[in-house]
């Protein structure tokens, strides 16, 4: 193995600097791409916050951006569904609270199903935006994601009124709202991707 001589140190330092600069520029381009696409969503800060941690996967691919946004929605919906399952087992719930939780759990299950189908559909169609079936696939995805958004609204309808425990209502509202917001952002990104064809 060759030894590093004093005369080689400046060259090594220059190469390290160039490598770091290239990586920094690449990361900057990726986060700029994500920020730019998120700027037209309903919740741009949340969009950037949830997607920027996947920058190395997304790069500057709109397809991968949409794939990631949908996957984040699935994860949030699944976490909320799990929370609702635990909540439904609590002792001392009023009949109305239990019924509202069960209804909301069904809506969250539908959410998970529709969003998961959207992810699978997008993966299955590949990155060919010029294929004859592109718009058909995108239409399916748009329909499922829109329906998932409606599920969140329907879920929260059961928790209106003063007869509901305030802590339960607040806990559920926070989680369901977050699912709705990331799903709304995903839908805007889906629509952008479909429209760019």
d(CA 31, CA 154): 35
> Could you tell me which of 64, 47, 44, 66 has the C-alpha nearest to residue 56?
64
- Sequence-distant (≥ 6) Cβ neighbours of residue 118 within 8 angstroms: 70, 140, 141, 144, 145, 148, 190
With beta carbons less than 8 A apart as the criterion, state whether 76 and 50 touch. no
Cα separations (Å) of 4 from 13, 46, 78?
12, 48, 54
- Please state, in angstroms and rounded to a whole number, the distance separating the CA atoms of residues 196 and 189: 11
Residue 31: predicted pLDDT = 85
For the full predicted model, state whether its pTM sits above 0.95.
no
Alpha helices in the chain (DSSP H): 9-38, 44-51, 55-58, 62-88, 95-125, 134-157, 166-195
Per-residue pLDDT of the chain (197 residues; tens, 9 = 90+): 455 555 555 665 555 555 544 444 445 667 889 999 999 999 999 999 999 999 989 988 999 999 999 999 999 999 999 999 998 888 888 888 888 889 889 999 999 999 999 999 998 876 666 666 888 888 999 999 999 988 877 887 777 766 677 888 888 889 999 999 999 999 999 999 988 75
Alpha carbon distance 56, 123 (integer Å): 18
Q: Note the pLDDT of residue 131.
A: 66
Q: Cβ(40)–Cβ(188) under 8 Å?
A: yes
Cβ atoms of 37 and 58 closer than 8 Å: no
Instruction: Return left, alpha or beta for 34; rule: phi > 0 is left, psi -120 to 50 is alpha, else beta.
Output: alpha
- Closest by Cα among 139, 141, 137, 115 to 128: 137
State the pLDDT at residue 25. Answer: 44
Domain locations in the chain?
A: 43-195
Provide the pLDDT for residue 81.
93
The pLDDT of residue 134: 84
Q: Which CATH superfamily is domain 43-195 in?
A: Invertase/pectin methylesterase inhibitor family protein (1.20.140.40)
CA atoms within 13 A on the CB side of 92: 2
């Amino acid at each position: 193995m060759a030894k590093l001589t004093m005369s080689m140190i400046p060259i090594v330092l220059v190469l390290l600097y160039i490598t770091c600069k290239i990586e920094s520029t690449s990361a900057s381009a990726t986060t700029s791409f994500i920020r730019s696409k998120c700027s037209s969503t309903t919740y741009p800060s949340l969009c950037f916050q949830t997607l920027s941690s996947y920058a190395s996967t997304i790069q500057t691919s709109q397809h991968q951006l949409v794939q990631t946004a949908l996957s984040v929605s699935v994860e949030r919906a699944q976490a909320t569904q799990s929370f609702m399952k635990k909540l439904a087992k609590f002792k001392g719930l009023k009949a109305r609270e239990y019924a509202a939780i069960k209804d909301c759990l069904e809506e969250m299950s539908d959410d998970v199903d529709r969003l998961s189908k959207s992810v699978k559909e997008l993966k299955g169609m590949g990155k060919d935006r010029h294929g004859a079936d592109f718009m058909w696939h995108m239409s399916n995805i748009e329909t499922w994601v829109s329906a998932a958004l409606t599920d969140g609204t329907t879920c929260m309808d059961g928790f209106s009124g003063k007869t509901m425990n305030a802590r339960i209502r607040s806990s559920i509202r926070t989680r369901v709202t977050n699912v709705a917001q990331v799903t709304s952002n995903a839908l805007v990104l889906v629509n952008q991707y479909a429209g760019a064809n």
